Structure 1
Amino acid sequence: MGWLQSLFSPLKKLWFRLNSAQRKKRGIYILYEDVKSCQCEDVQILWSILVESNPPHLRLKQ
């Protein structure tokens, strides 16, 4: 039974890592939609600073 657990352990870790990455992207997208709908110029400026400071693969289209 230990061999079965050793087989599935890396797959389980990979699954959790991929699932948490998708959740983060969804959360960022929801935040992006909220910021996009906000009319406050300060919020728009802070969002642009945040987007520019992140790596290109995490950036959302503006």
Structure 2
Amino acid sequence: MATEDAYCIDVLTQVAAASRALQSVALLLLDDHLRHCLTEAARAGPNMDAEVTEASQAIARLVRS
């Protein structure tokens, strides 16, 4: 759109829509990670702290973006 000289507001609308779509995907991936990977880590035992730290860092990155 930008290279085709589209109206700026239309380009911004598309950028915002793409950003929201990517955030939705990120939330789905995070939910999947929490439900599956952390569950497996809890069952496995001693590595739970590392898994929780990793998930917390991922959440912080998502919130900052």
TM range (shorter): 0.5 to 0.7
TM-score, normalising length: structure 1: 0.66
Consecutive unaligned residues in structure 1, runs of 5 or more: none
Normalised TM-score (structure 2): 0.64
Give distance in 2, aligned partners of 1:51 and 1:37: 12
Q: Read off the aligned partner of 1:49 and give its amino acid letter.
A: T
> Does 2:33 align with 1:31?
yes
Query: Which letter does structure 2 place at the counterpart of 1:46?
Result: A
Cα shift readout 1:6-56 (whole Å, capped 9, x = no counterpart): 1311000000011101101110110110124311121x222221234352x
Against the structure 1 CA distance between its residues 27 and 35, is the aligned structure 2 distance closer, same or farther, given a 3 Å change threshold? Answer: same
Q: Which runs of 5+ in 2 are unaligned?
A: none
- Percent identity over the alignment is 0
RMSD: 2.5
Alignment partner for residue 47 of structure 1, among 40, 51, 59? 51
